[in-house]
Structure 1
Amino acid sequence: MLRLSSTSNVLKRASHVKPSPLRVIIATSASSRTKRYFTTQQKEQDQPVTIYTGPLANVAKKLKLFSITSLGLGCGISPFVFAIDVPVPFIAKAALVGAAVATSAASTGLIQWVMSPYVTKITIPKQVEQGQLPKELTIHTLSFTAKDHATTVPLDSIEPSSRIFTSWMINDLSLAKGRIGQKEAKPKPLLYVHPELCEEEQSLMKDIVEKTGIGKGF
């Protein structure tokens, strides 16, 4: 009976012994590192993979911003031309302002028409094995105000385009989804990618352009 009582007292004392602060800190630190590792791994797996980057993406963005800014300044300054006290008839002033605004609008429209299909980058949801093709692409272009415009479209819905300054077109826009930032937007029907960047051997873009029916020389 004495031995059982002694053993019981030892077990009770052991159950009330608190772990040392150092052990608690080490265990907490190890648990935090493990959580951060798996969180980082999960985020990396969820991140889209970029398979194409347009070499003129920054130039296209700056050109769009410049054209829009120049048009806005032209329209904003136009009323002050009529307030200037110069010996010029009102009709002449109106013609001068109209010509300036029309020229700026025409140049802006031309830049938008040329640069609107330009693809800044293409991403896929996750990496695919060699020899396989992704089911859909997220194609990034620029909106009218030079913001990122993303169009997510199935690969089977892309086909060659015959319009100048374009290489791809989406044959069924109902299957595509567009967004600008977090807002929904109309998907871009026409797209342009650089042919020289899609002809590298053993590259995913080469397989994609051949799948879409473009091939070499587009």
Structure 2
Amino acid sequence: MTAAPYIPPSFGQPGCTRMAVLPMVVAAAAVRRTMMASTVRVGVRSARPMATSSLRVSPIPPRSLVPSTRSPLGIRTLTSTPISRAPTPATTSPDQVLATYEGPLARTFTRLKLFSLGSLGMASVLTPVLLLAPGDISLAGRIGLCVTALATSGVSTALIAWIGTPYVGTMRLLRPQPNRVAMELTTVSWRLKPQRTLVYEPSFLRPTSRPFAAWEISNSAPAVKVGEEAVENVVAETFDVKTGVSLGRWIVRYDPEAKTKGEDGVWKAVGTVQVQGRPTRYFNVHEELLDEDWQVLG
């Protein structure tokens, strides 16, 4: 009589208990931990030579200090870019700044110009509405009201532009050469466009009799001693700050044929000033705010 093979009872049968299954679960967990530990050790051993070889073959470029753009997730990263060192120039800028000046009423004049231009534009827009709107006012009365509104707004805008255009917002005293000085004056036109005037010959700036202005570029050039050839110098030039386009300039031309005898008995050439374009001539500066650094102007 042969013995029947032993078949372990399955779950749910009377012979199966939790204590019988527990040793099998523990053994399976131990085998799994052993396999994972061996895999990690093999990976670490294989990764060490690769990292060492990569460090020896390709050097890591220096990391730039400037952060790159943010990623969509909001994480800031640093880009690795090579640093190129250029020779440092002797001076940071070609022109040495000797002194600076800021007009205290620059923003006030800008706001006045903006308000006057806005009122003029509003009057121009509302004039047709007033003419075509129904009402008891006759056509002649409406025309008179429109003309009065436009004239008042236009005159006030022109007056504010005439007063505020020469006002200097910022001014700098420069030294382009060791033995020469120049001036940079920033103004705002009546259309609220910033303009920069470079005065290469500050000796041409004279006191002016124009109201709401302190200086002007003189039309009379002093006589100087020149050679046999004609000499032409640029006294001042006005540029548009945004575009850099030259708006006009003042030029003095010395003709050796037109000479005059000076007080020292030396014959000197008489200069004639020519204006090209529409450069800025008048400047309104608070002279009481200029310190002793501006005394080089004389």
Match of residue 45 from structure 1? 93
Please give the residue correspondences for 1:102-181 in structure 2 after superposition, counting only pairs within 5 Å: 102-126=151-175, 135-153=181-199, 154-172=201-219, 175-181=235-241
Please give the residue correspondences for 1:11-26 in structure 2 after superposition, counting only pairs within 5 Å: 21-22=59-60, 25=62
CA offsets per residue over residues 69-94 of structure 1, 9 Å max, x none?
11111112111101110011000000
Q: Displacement, 1:118?
A: 0.5
**Corresponding residue SS for 1:135:** strand
Match of residue 190 from structure 1? 282
Q: Distance in 2 between matches of 1:171 and 1:183?
A: 23
Match of residue 107 from structure 2? 58
1:151/1:176 contact within 8 Å kept: yes
Structure 2 gap segments, 5+ residues each: 1-55, 64-79, 221-233, 248-277
Q: Distance in 2 between matches of 1:97 and 1:205?
A: 50
Q: Distance in 2 between matches of 1:85 and 1:162?
A: 51
**Corresponding residue SS for 1:88:** coil
Q: Distance in 1 between matches of 2:127 and 2:156?
A: 17
Q: Displacement, 1:123?
A: 2.3
Letter matched to residue 143 of structure 2: A
**Corresponding residue SS for 1:21:** coil
2:175/2:182 contact within 8 Å kept: no
Aligned residues with identical type, % of pairs = 27
Q: Displacement, 1:55?
A: 0.9
Q: Which has the higher strand share?
A: 2
Q: Which has the larger radius of gyration?
A: 2
Q: Distance in 2 between matches of 1:70 and 1:115?
A: 17
Q: Distance in 1 between matches of 2:212 and 2:294?
A: 19
Q: Displacement, 1:19?
A: 6.9
Q: Displacement, 1:62?
A: 1.4
Letter matched to residue 96 of structure 1: L
Q: Displacement, 1:151?
A: 1.2
CA offsets per residue over residues 163-199 of structure 1, 9 Å max, x none?
221110001496221111322212211111012211x
Match of residue 9 from structure 1? none
Q: How many residues get paired?
A: 180
CA offsets per residue over residues 187-218 of structure 1, 9 Å max, x none?
211111012211x3xx322443xx1xxxxxxx
Letter matched to residue 45 of structure 1: S
1:51/1:204 contact within 8 Å kept: no
Q: Distance in 1 between matches of 2:168 and 2:142?
A: 41
Aligned-residue Cα RMSD (Å) equals 3.0
Structure 1 moving runs of 4+ over 3 Å: 28-31, 46-50, 124-129
State the TM-score, normalized to the length of structure 2.
0.53
Letter matched to residue 151 of structure 1: T
Letter matched to residue 281 of structure 2: P
Q: Distance in 2 between matches of 1:102 and 1:115?
A: 20
Match of residue 204 from structure 1? 293
Q: Displacement, 1:38?
A: 3.0
